[in-house]
Structure 1
């Protein structure tokens, strides 16, 4: 069954196929690297690059399309076509930054955040936005190191982050904390950071681990049905799959075994597996996209299946396949 599922995953866009070749199929580096190189010239990656504006942006805006009517959000959802979302996708798909040569400089000249008209690479007040800007800047070669130091300065007392801190929030958010952690890990990998920024990452990880990635610290109850909403693209949304994939990456970077407190999250992922060995698409968040990259809600999802198999393989290989606490 697993072999059939992997064959199904390999029959996919280069943005996914190279990751399946590397992480599940055991292909030689020459094979998956060649597939990865094609991301910018074929399929999803090439299509998304073709939508880039001459000034370096996508849809004419930093976080929202130019001229967007914000009254549409409650009815139509967040649009996913602007610059930050497009860069996030290309980076996560493994696109070679050389295909976007000059983009960092163009964005420095032309892109401003919708909030307070701030320069693009200076970041914003939202910790999720700052994390994505940090990761994208590192990828494209922009000067974003100052953003890494922003996170320890805005970390909540409980160890996490909340994008609504500027509105007075003092308790952390699962969503915000996970997004912040991703940027900090990218910075640490790029800069070999071992000081204050790493300390902030470790505290943020502990915030999620103490809650078993899914539970209230006070009662032990599941924080909400959204933790088991396994959907791709992730965008800004938290799920146990999104979080477990982060902890896989952090564990590999740190050379550490998986933390046993991940067990309940791993069980939620495992229990969502279908009899045919796939995972279903729970449904991406509403909102305009350039094009669809995965199955509709309720159908087998190549992306969700890939992430779930990769997480489970890592967990099981590390000999932590134990009953959930």
Structure 2
């Protein structure tokens, strides 16, 4: 019997279809790889690549678009069209890192893109942990040597095991958002290179920071650290929610060959409770700000991206 939710997911973009085939249908690798190859030439992946500048960047900037003003940020929100967010979205779509287009992009970005803060070459990293965590994830995925950024992130870990972008301003406690951005980068680095003893230790400590807090609770009081952590967001950009964290722990456990940690149980229960009667999950909110195009139906509507991630997390947990 055909699952109508699976059919609904498959009636979408190649960037979703190949992940459904791999993660939900257990399709043979040649089958989902053939679908993944379409990301470069069809749908959202091709559309985003068509927005690329001749010098390899997007919107003329590394973190913010060229000519972007503080006034627009205040009035319309942070923009998401510059190079760093475009690369992360291509990684999420699943652009083949071995493709000629991906290799050319990596080289052009390395040669021509400079960070807004400090002017460093792009693949040397920025100064903020959140940004560097995503730069590591993108770089490792696309085959760049990001070991120097890894060493910096390891040295910036706080005493409670995680990270905080406000560390340079005196923060001594880790944040959920900074920590998940770094964790995703560390895991991608391990996939690409095997990692190092210090990088693996850093990932374990950051994961323990989240697990001790059941992914969303304050350690001191047990209260939710932020109600938005329980509401599902896509694209996450730099923001945190429990589904993003659950998907990381799923991916990490598969990589490590370990069972799910029982401390994820409360977050799993919340995820189950949010499933709609038709078997899908809604997009609870989205970030304001400039985008190239939308990849969801809108707030309050069933979301293919949220549903894909929720279904693969539950499949992993229940197996």
- Measured against the shorter chain, the TM-score band is over 0.9
Which residue does 2:86 correspond to in 1?
Answer: 86
Which of 178, 183, 196 is the aligned partner of 1:176?
Answer: 178
Question: Any conservation in 2 of the 1:22–1:29 contact (CA below 8 Å)?
Answer: yes
Which residue does 2:126 correspond to in 1?
Answer: 124
Matched residues in 1 for 2:46 and 2:134: separation? 21
- Post-superposition offset of 1:247: 0.3
**Per-residue deviation, residues 71-109 of structure 1 (Å, max 9, x unmatched):** 222321111100000000111111012222222222222
The aligned length equals: 317
Which of 256, 260, 263 is the aligned partner of 1:261?
Answer: 263
Which residue does 1:74 correspond to in 2?
Answer: 74
Q: For 1:45-56, what aligned pairs fall within 5 Å after superposition?
A: 45-56=45-56
Question: Any conservation in 1 of the 2:141–2:188 contact (CA below 8 Å)?
Answer: no
**Structure 1 unaligned regions, length at least 5:** 318-325
SS in 1 for 2:21: helix
Q: Larger deviation: 188-197 or 302-311?
A: 188-197
Question: Any conservation in 2 of the 1:240–1:268 contact (CA below 8 Å)?
Answer: no
Which residue does 2:309 correspond to in 1?
Answer: 307
SS in 1 for 2:3: helix
Which of 128, 136, 139 is the aligned partner of 1:137?
Answer: 139
Matched residues in 2 for 1:79 and 1:113: separation? 15
Which of 202, 205, 226 is the aligned partner of 2:204?
Answer: 202
Question: Any conservation in 2 of the 1:227–1:238 contact (CA below 8 Å)?
Answer: yes
- Post-superposition offset of 1:313: 0.8
- Post-superposition offset of 1:2: 8.1
Matched residues in 2 for 1:84 and 1:67: separation? 16
SS in 2 for 1:176: helix
How high is the TM-score relative to the length of structure 1?
0.95
Which residue does 1:251 correspond to in 2?
Answer: 253
**Per-residue deviation, residues 111-136 of structure 1 (Å, max 9, x unmatched):** 11111222211111111111111122
Which residue does 2:240 correspond to in 1?
Answer: 238
Q: For 1:1-325, what aligned pairs fall within 5 Å after superposition?
A: 3-97=3-97, 98=99, 99-317=101-319
Matched residues in 2 for 1:150 and 1:134: separation? 11
**Per-residue deviation, residues 264-307 of structure 1 (Å, max 9, x unmatched):** 11111111101111111112100111001111101111110110
Q: Larger deviation: 49-58 or 64-73?
A: 64-73
Matched residues in 2 for 1:29 and 1:142: separation? 24
Matched residues in 1 for 2:80 and 2:314: separation? 29
SS in 1 for 2:286: coil
Matched residues in 2 for 1:141 and 1:91: separation? 12
Matched residues in 1 for 2:293 and 2:49: separation? 12
> CA RMSD for the aligned pairs?
1.3
How high is the TM-score relative to the length of structure 2?
0.96
- Summarize the Cα distance change of 1:207–1:2 in structure 2 as closer, same or farther, 3 Å threshold: farther
Matched residues in 1 for 2:200 and 2:132: separation? 17
Q: Larger deviation: 139-148 or 151-160?
A: 139-148
Question: Any conservation in 1 of the 2:232–2:283 contact (CA below 8 Å)?
Answer: yes
Q: Larger deviation: 7-16 or 228-237?
A: 228-237
Question: Any conservation in 2 of the 1:245–1:311 contact (CA below 8 Å)?
Answer: yes
Matched residues in 2 for 1:210 and 1:146: separation? 29
Question: Any conservation in 1 of the 2:143–2:192 contact (CA below 8 Å)?
Answer: no
